[in-house]
Amino acid sequence: SMRWSHGPGELFTFVVADAFGGGGQTYWGPKTFTEGPHYVGGVVTALAGLAVWRVRTWLVWGLGLGVLGTALFALGKYAAWLNWPMFQYFPFFDAFRGPEMWLSVTALALAILAGIGLDHALRREERRGRRAQSADPRQRPLLIAFGAVFGIVALVWLAPNTFFDFEKPNEQQRIRQALLRQNPNVSPQNPRVQKAVQQQMQKLKTQRRDALTTDTQRTLLFLVLAAGVLVLYRRETLPAWGAGLAVVAIVGIDLWGVDSRYMGPDRYSSQDVEQSIPTYQFDQFIKKRQEEAGGLGQFRVLSLVEGDPTSKARPSYHYENVGGYHGAKLQRYQDYLDHILQVTGSGPPNENALDLMNTRYIAARQQLPGTEVAYRSQKSGVLVLENTDAVPRGFLVGQTEVVEDPKQMWSRLRSSSFDPRQTALLSEPLDQPVTPIDSNGTAEVTMEHYEPEEIRWTVETDAPRLFVASEVYYPAGWNAYLNGEQVPIHRINYLLRGVHVPEGEHTLEMRFEPKADRYGTWIAWVSTIFVYGGVFALVGMRVRRQRSADAGDEEA
């Protein structure tokens, strides 16, 4: 979404974290909202600039162009001359959901460049004679690189109003509308309204200016500290390893100080979560029914109280939810919402679709067909409706139909003549037969264990049948095991999972075991060992080389 295009001026947050208010309610930049700045710090920026200026290698030039390119991509609509052609014609470019995502690559490239710049600053040249000892050819570029960043930050510190207006786009209009909603009898032309808007804007601007001033001073301090350490090294007051560790520590403290604003324990305490996510009376009723039923895995809920249930995340905090918000839903589940459940239409949600997803309760403001009123909130009038036809999380069927066309399958699933407890729809026939369930037959399923990544049932059947799990079909990770042996998972009813079960009593497990997760874990471990091992090796080599050089000087 181009709404998350990074404003050109907002790139300054790489150096001064709260230049645009940070994140959350304090943010005043052009994006709709954001949860924190992209920040690397003034020291990293200065060292990266030193590398681009003084280290002339293909790697540095490539990284420098990468910083420039990804920063332009992050500008989105503010650099439409580049981004719209790339978005339309370049393969996979549109996979970046928001232009701002490119800045993660920008930050990585800046960090690598800073490492190269630090390495350059810590290298010594052969110097002979008294004149050479008094003139260090590397100290001047170092001071210029740090001085340039220091000067820019100092200018912003001294004259913040020259560079920023501290006002979010259309903010005065939104404040005016909020005031008029609170006072509907007041005319929009009333001078007191405009005065109140100006007073509130002035208060917000003062807060934002103070935040910028504080962080510019903070950045200036870290720049002075890091530059001072490197100057001491150039004057041979500090050893190379000591100066390097000191700069790394300064950068680490700088980044930690900003990170703790967003990732500290006080930021996301359970108390804050409880206060920010409302819990209503009908939520408490449903949670009590969930606890009585045995906890997670017993049923799902559809909340129609807050409008479109696919754009609200609040109910998902309390119980397993058919709706809920996610920025990148599975396409198969999106098809279920749009074409089977039909929850965004003007009419009630489809009854079969509710049954398929184990939807036992529905929170609504009026009764729906096929439901019974289980609870009525005295305060808000919200109803909790019980859908007694909802299928369990796991059950057996003895009949199958093959419907290859997805649209025809959607229509069949919505049809009142379709009974999900008796029949399962498949896109291709099973290799093994199933037997219909009669009144004298045995077809029992008991859930023994439920976790988001592991589910276990006991299944007893007197004939071969199809086990249906009211869980979303996802072949890129979920595996099924019948009595410990892996068996295939079939796609049932367009979006559910199915396993063929022979006659007898069995233990059926489904576990989430994606290969990408396993490979990613190994890659992460190997990379971590390689990186930290390489750091220790390089430090050891530098110390050994320095000792050899010192020993050679003593012999001379």
Indicate the helix (H) or strand (E) that contains 426: strand 423-426
**426 and 490 Cβ atoms separated by less than 8 Å:** yes
Residue of higher predicted confidence among 50 and 541: 50
Q: C-alpha distances in angstroms, 153 versus 6, 64, 157, 443, 518? A: 20, 21, 6, 73, 45
Q: C-alpha distances in angstroms, 80 versus 7, 11, 77, 486? A: 12, 17, 5, 51
Q: Is the pLDDT of residue 493 over 80?
A: yes
Average pLDDT over residues 43-47: 97
Burial 279-309 (b: 16+ CB within 10 A, else e): ebebbebbeebbeeeeeebbbbbbbbbeeeb
Q: What is the pLDDT of residue 273?
A: 65
**Helix axes of 515-555 and 240-263: crossing angle, nearest 10 degrees:** 150
SS3 405: coil
Q: What is the pLDDT of residue 176?
A: 85
Average pLDDT over residues 504-529: 92
Q: What is the pLDDT of residue 326?
A: 81
C-alpha span between 539 and 517 (Å, rounded) = 33
Q: What is the pLDDT of residue 130?
A: 43
**156 and 16 Cβ atoms separated by less than 8 Å:** yes
SS3 454: strand
Which of the four pLDDT bands, split at 50, 70 and 90, describes residue 151? very high
Q: Which two tokens stand for residue 392?
A: 């369990």
CB atoms within 10 A of CB 351: 18
Pairing type for strands 496-501 and 465-472 reads: antiparallel
Average pLDDT over residues 108-124: 92
Which range has the worst mean pLDDT, 98-102, 154-158, 441-445, 545-549? 545-549
- Could you tell me where the DSSP H helices lie in 360-494? 406-414
Residue type (1 letter), 423: T
Residues of the chain with pLDDT > 70: what percent? 93
Residue 399's DSSP bridge partners are: 423
Which range has the worst mean pLDDT, 305-314, 352-361, 469-478? 305-314
Placement of tokens 């939807």 in the chain: 359
Which of the four pLDDT bands, split at 50, 70 and 90, describes residue 128? very low
Residue type (1 letter), 377: S
Which range has the worst mean pLDDT, 92-96, 352-356, 368-372, 438-442? 92-96
Q: Is the pLDDT of residue 58 over 90?
A: yes
Per residue in 4-38, pLDDT (tens digit) is 899 999 999 999 999 999 888 889 999 888 888 99
**Helix axes of 103-121 and 191-234: crossing angle, nearest 10 degrees:** 30
Which of the four pLDDT bands, split at 50, 70 and 90, describes residue 171? confident
C-alpha span between 520 and 518 (Å, rounded) = 5
Which of the four pLDDT bands, split at 50, 70 and 90, describes residue 126? very low
Q: Which two tokens stand for residue 290?
A: 């969930």
Q: C-alpha distances in angstroms, 497 versus 248, 401, 414, 421, 459? A: 51, 15, 18, 14, 15
H/E/C letters for each residue in 464-495? CEEEEEEEECCCCCEEEEECCEEECCEEECCC
Q: What is the pLDDT of residue 93?
A: 83
Q: Is the pLDDT of residue 169 over 70?
A: yes
**479 and 489 Cβ atoms separated by less than 8 Å:** yes
Average pLDDT score over the chain: 89
Q: In what order do the strands lie in the sheet with 399-402?
A: 394-397, 465-472, 496-501, 490-492, 423-426, 399-402
Per residue in 272-294, pLDDT (tens digit) is 666 778 889 999 999 999 999 99
Q: C-alpha distances in angstroms, 32 versus 6, 64, 129, 417? A: 11, 29, 62, 46
Average pLDDT over residues 300-322: 89
Q: What is the pLDDT of residue 274?
A: 67
User: pTM (2 decimals)?
Assistant: 0.71
**Chain mean position to CA 451:** 22
Which range has the worst mean pLDDT, 40-44, 138-142, 389-393, 497-501? 138-142
Q: What is the pLDDT of residue 269?
A: 59
Average pLDDT over residues 357-383: 91
Residues of the chain with pLDDT > 90: what percent? 63
- Identity of the highest mean pLDDT range in 80-94, 481-495, 533-547: 481-495
| Burial zone of 438 (CB within 10 Å; 0-12 exposed, 13-18 middle, 19+ buried) | exposed
Which of the four pLDDT bands, split at 50, 70 and 90, describes residue 556? low
Q: Is the pLDDT of residue 490 over 80?
A: yes
Indicate the helix (H) or strand (E) that contains 279: none
**520 and 494 Cβ atoms separated by less than 8 Å:** no
Q: What is the pLDDT of residue 127?
A: 45
Q: Which two tokens stand for residue 149?
A: 């960043």
Ramachandran region, residue 476 (left: φ > 0; alpha: ψ -120 to 50; beta: rest): alpha
Q: What is the pLDDT of residue 271?
A: 62
Q: What is the pLDDT of residue 512?
A: 95
* 291 φ, ψ (degrees, to nearest 5): -65, -40
